Amino acid sequence: MKKLQSVFLCFVTLFCYPLQSQNSEIGDTIEVVTLEEFSIPSNKHIVLTNIRNISFEAELQDNQNNFIRKCEKSWQDPPKNQFPVSGDRGKLVQFSLKESIDEAGEYYAKVKIGFVDERGKNNIEVLYKIIADYPTMGSEISLRDRYYFSEEETFSFTTMEYKDAKSYSFAVTDAAGGIIDSGRGSVVNLNKVMQSESNVGKKIIVHGFYKGKEFLFKDGKTGKVNRSVWEFELVKPELDEFIGWKGEDEKGDQLLSVYNEKAMNLLYLYVGKTPTGFAVLAPKIRNLTVTSEPKNFLKNFSSATSGKFLFIKLAVNEEFIENMEECGEADVTISLQFITQFNEKITRKYSATVIK
């Protein structure tokens, strides 16, 4: 019996302290990371011996000992349904609490324990100090503020402390909150998002989650605290052209041979300069119309894509050529219009002096 009393007194010495003052000595300090579940105590259980009946409750407090919430999740062995114990002999009881904290800071867990042993009823309180910090990002995330349609990008938001890979998830939304893409894990592949024409012109927002929640994290280099949200704008590259004709705003004369088939090919492509090169893609067009002045210069026209280029091919009317004098010349204007895959309406006017 003296040995059991000694064990109980040892427990009281370790865990029972005054709770009224902020300067009270703390029985245990637990360092945790936000959102991760932890045990109270951190690396052991609370143990009582020769217990015939027991009940306990706990609450989470802020650093001023103000109540935040009750701690509802606990573990106990033997379980509660095996108490009270009949007879003279009690049982050895172990129990601990499970808790998680969303925001970094200093907290306290106050545990109130009521039990009956061979000496009768007893009540004790145990106070634990909890220091919560944000996780550290495992690798640098350097998303740009702007990307061109058709670019590729992949990044990971795995942290050093969040070890459960299955608890990571993400969602990609537009500024209005509409879901564009989502998935499990901490690796976000944005290729599908960046290659969807419907996303051009939108602000794209990537939300990283752990256990279903956005979280704050520390930058591994600077220690700066950031939220697990990343934004960028998806834009179309600029339409560029390779034309042998004089543009509407160009000055000077432009001479073309009426037999020069290469000059009758108008080339277009989309191109945008990136930090590592260029984003290049071929325009996809619809509702193409081409007219000429004089009207009988143009026989017909067609369009085709080759590699990254859009070709608009002009076929000159043979009768127009036959009616021209040898070494003769004529002023010709070409007007065209089409709509691209980005619903961009393109209108161009070119001119040249054609010679035979």
Amino acid residing at 152:
E
- What pLDDT was estimated at residue 189? 98
Residues 123 and 154 reside in one and the same domain: no
- Does residue 333 lie within any of the structural domains? yes
| Rounded alpha-carbon distances, angstroms, from residue 13 to 10, 16, 49, 65, 133 | 5, 6, 15, 22, 29
Q: Considering the chain, what percentage of its residues have pLDDT values greater than 70?
A: 93
CATH of the domain at 297: 2.60.40.1220
Amino acid residing at 315:
A
- Does residue 141 lie within any of the structural domains? no
Last residue of a domain, one of 109, 133, 157: 133
In this model, does residue 283 exceed pLDDT 80? yes
- What pLDDT was estimated at residue 182? 98
- What pLDDT was estimated at residue 88? 72
- Which sign, positive or negative, has the C-alpha torsion 270, 286, 193, 231? positive
Amino acid residing at 66:
N
Mean pLDDT score, 8-12: 37
- Does residue 138 lie within any of the structural domains? no
- Distance between terminal CA atoms of the chain? 121
In this model, does residue 16 exceed pLDDT 80? no
How confident is the model over 129-186, as pLDDT tens digits?
999 999 999 999 999 999 999 999 999 999 999 999 999 999 999 999 999 999 999 9
Task: Give the angle 195-197-199 at the CA atoms, nearest 5°.
Answer: 90
Domain containing residue 201: 146-235
CATH of the domain at 199: 2.60.40
Band (28; pLDDT cuts 50, 70, 90): confident
Residues 10 and 74 reside in one and the same domain: yes
Residues 159 and 129 reside in one and the same domain: no
Band (25; pLDDT cuts 50, 70, 90): low
In this model, does residue 13 exceed pLDDT 80? no
Residues 17 and 58 reside in one and the same domain: yes
Alpha carbons 206 and 151: distance in angstroms, whole number: 16
Is residue 278 a contact partner of residue 271, using CB atoms and an 8 Å limit?
yes
Alpha carbons 94 and 117: distance in angstroms, whole number: 14
Residues 219 and 264 reside in one and the same domain: no
Band (19; pLDDT cuts 50, 70, 90): very low
Residues 188 and 226 reside in one and the same domain: yes
- How many other C-beta atoms are found inside a 10 Å radius of the C-beta of residue 252? 5
Is residue 126 a contact partner of residue 71, using CB atoms and an 8 Å limit?
no
Length of the chain (residues): 356
In this model, does residue 199 exceed pLDDT 50? yes
Tabulate helix, strand, coil % of the chain (nearest 5): 10, 55, 35
Last residue of a domain, one of 235, 264, 291: 235
- Does residue 255 lie within any of the structural domains? yes
Per-residue tokens: 7: 């064990």
Q: Considering the chain, what percentage of its residues have pLDDT values greater than 90?
A: 81
Q: Classify residue 226 as exposed, middle or buried by CB count within 10 Å of its CB (0-12, 13-18, 19+).
A: middle
Alpha carbons 318 and 315: distance in angstroms, whole number: 9
In this model, does residue 9 exceed pLDDT 50? no
Taking the model in full, what pTM does it have? 0.81
Last residue of a domain, one of 103, 133, 163: 133
Residues 242 and 231 reside in one and the same domain: no
Look-up: residue for tokens 């200093």?
A: 106
Residues 105 and 161 reside in one and the same domain: no
Residues 222 and 290 reside in one and the same domain: no
Residues 165 and 92 reside in one and the same domain: no
Amino acid residing at 67:
F
- How many other C-beta atoms are found inside a 10 Å radius of the C-beta of residue 93? 26
Alpha carbons 339 and 12: distance in angstroms, whole number: 81
Is residue 148 a contact partner of residue 167, using CB atoms and an 8 Å limit?
no
CATH of the domain at 31: 2.60.40.10
Residues 155 and 61 reside in one and the same domain: no
Nearest CA among 355, 335, 356 for reference residue 346: 335
- Does residue 267 lie within any of the structural domains? yes
- Does residue 259 lie within any of the structural domains? yes
Residues 226 and 266 reside in one and the same domain: no
Count of domains for the chain: 3
